[in-house]
Structure formats: structure tokens, C-alpha cells
Structure 1
Amino acid sequence: MTGALFTLTFALAAPFWVLMILLPRWHMTSRIIASPLIVAPVLVIYTVLVLPALGDVLPAVASPTLDGIRDLLGTDDGAAAAWAHMIAFDLFVGAWAWRDSRERRVPALVMAPVLVSTILLGPIGLAVYLAVRTRWTRPVSAPSSRA
């Protein structure tokens, strides 16, 4: 079961990455990516993997040591849970960056490699986006003309 959950983890996230990278201007992409619930299926997998092992996980993360984390991640369940953790957070960060980039009008061709780097190297993709976004500011909203 662990192997199937490991494989399913990215398969559940991949459609959202496809929308952001390959279909950024499709009218449904904004509606779909607007929801933080896009990470929910991966979070369910993470929960299914972690809850049965909570007795091992909590001590390892509450007082982490290199040996303890290595031992935890050195199992099939630990590696699959870590993978789900990474996929969920990378998708959450990628969706935030994508939404922020739309507000700032960052070109889709600029964002595509940023999002790919977020998929592959999570924190590096975030760092790249934080650097990229400084070049584009949010458009100033026109003041409302209420009488």
C-alpha cells in the first residue's frame, strides 16, 4: 500500500502544476488554483501514512536529531510520508506564487521555469520567485468612486 500511496501522491498534484505551467490563461485555471484545498488529496495521503506511526514520528520531530530523522525517513512509510509532505508544501507554495504572479502580471513564460524549479527543488523555486517578483509590482487599484 505504501508504494501505491507514494505513486499516487504526485499524480494527485500533477494536474494543478499542468494548469499553472501549461494553461495559465485558461479561465478555469484561476478558479481552480484559487482554492487552497487543491493540496487536500495529498494531505489525506500524508495523514494516512503518518497517523499509524505517530508514536515514532512525534518523538523524532519534537526533539530532532540527525540520526532520529534518518531512521524515520529510512523506512518505506517514512520516505512516502516525507514525499507527501514535500509535494503538499511545494504545491501550496507554487499555487501562492502563481496567484501572486497573476496579480503582478509576471509573464507566464517567466513563471513556467520558476514553477518547474518549485516542483523539483521546492525552496530554491521559492527563492527564485521571491527574487523574480521584485521586478513586478502589484497594480494600484483605482479608488472607488462611491458617492
Structure 2
Amino acid sequence: MDPQLLFALAFPLAAPFWALMILAPGWTVTRRVVASPLIAVPPALVYAVLVLPQFSTVFAAVASPELAGIAALLGTPLGAAAGWAHFIAFDLFVGRFIYLDSRERGVHPLVTAPVLVLTIMLAPLGLLAHLLLRAVLPRRRGTLDLSAAPAR
């Protein structure tokens, strides 16, 4: 398939899940949908469609990674589109972790939303921001954590 088309499809396949986590974090539909790790499947399938027909080329570059080989692979339309789909799939999976972990810890959605936006744009920095917040914010009873509920 055309790498340009698949490149263009990768983010729109993930965008509805990001929108749910950021814009409707407390909605029961959001909680039910995001509970499944399968939300990362659509962009992962784009990656598979790009990589599997060229598996030997891609595998050779990543099996013994060298900067020049990775740069050469990513410098092609196929490599760039595959890299983009890879980023989108894993960024969404990391965003899902952040969303679920924040809900469990009782972090307010207005605190989590900017972290999720940062994760969309620069996922490792979003993950670092979440881990820092996780370390400094006190754990509160969240929507998924009922262990702190007082006995009656």
C-alpha cells in the first residue's frame, strides 16, 4: 500500500481515543473503551501493513542497529510512515497507561489533560511528566481504587 496514505491514516485512527481521554475522562464510555489495550490496534495494524511486506529490510536494520542504518531506513517514505505509525501506536498505549493510572490515583482530569496532550506530541516527555506528578502528588482515592474507602 501507499506509505503516504498509511501515514495519513495512522493518527486519525488514534485520535478518537485521545479525544475521549482528554475531553470526556469521566464518561462511562471512555472508561469502558480505554480499559481495553486493544485501542492501540488500529495504528499498530497500519504499522504491520507497512512493515510486513518489507520485513527483511526492516528487520535487518533493527536487528543490529547502527545510526546510519536506522537513519537510512527512516529516511525513506516507507521508513518514515512506519516510524510514525509505530510512534502513534505506542504513544496511545502510553497515554492509556497515564489515563488509567491517573484515574486510579485520583488525579484531577484538568491535571492529567495537559500531560496527555504532551504525550501526544512528545510521548517520552509526557511519560516523564506523569511519573513526576505521580511521585509528588499524594495518592487519593480514585475512581478505580476503592481500597481506601472507610469501613461502615
TM class by smaller structure: over 0.9
Q: Report whether the alignment pairs 1:60 with 2:61.
A: yes
CA-based RMSD of the aligned residues comes to: 1.5
State the distance in 2 between where 1:8 and 1:86 align: 13
Structure 1: gaps of 5 or more residues:
none
Counterpart-to-counterpart distance in 1, 2:73 and 2:18: 29
Identity of aligned residues (%): 57
AA partner of residue 141 (structure 1)? S
Distance 2:138 2:76 in 1: 44
- 1:8 corresponds to: 9
What are the ranges of 5 or more consecutive residues in structure 2 without an aligned counterpart?
Answer: none
Q: Shift of the alpha carbon at 1:76? A: 0.4
Offset at 1:25? 1.3
Runs of 4+ in structure 1 deviating by more than 3 angstroms, as ranges, are none
Tell me, yes or no, if the aligned pair for 1:105 and 1:136 is still in contact at 8 Å.
Answer: no
Task: Give the match for residue 87 of structure 1.
Answer: 88
Q: In structure 2, the residue corresponding to 1:94 is in which secondary structure?
A: helix
Q: C-alpha offsets along residues 103-132 of structure 1, whole Å, 9 cap, x if unaligned?
A: 111000000110000000010000000001
| Larger displacement relative to structure 2 (109-118 or 131-140) | 131-140
How many correspondences in the alignment?
A: 144
After superposition, residues 1-147 of structure 1 pair within 5 angstroms as 1-134=2-135, 135-137=137-139, 139=141, 141=147
How far off its partner does 1:136 sit? 3.2
Q: Distance in 2 between matches of 1:112 and 1:142?
A: 25
Residue pair 2:107, 2:140 contacting (<8 A) in 1 also = no
TM-score (norm 1): 0.93
Cα separation, partners in 2 of 1:133 and 1:142, compared to 1, 3 Å: closer
- The one-letter code of the counterpart of 2:105 is R
What is the Cα deviation at residue 28 of structure 1? 0.6
Residue type matched to 1:133 in 2? R
* In 2: Cα distance, 1:136 partner to 1:31 partner: 26
Distance in 2 between residues matched to 1:2 and 1:79, nearest whole Å: 8
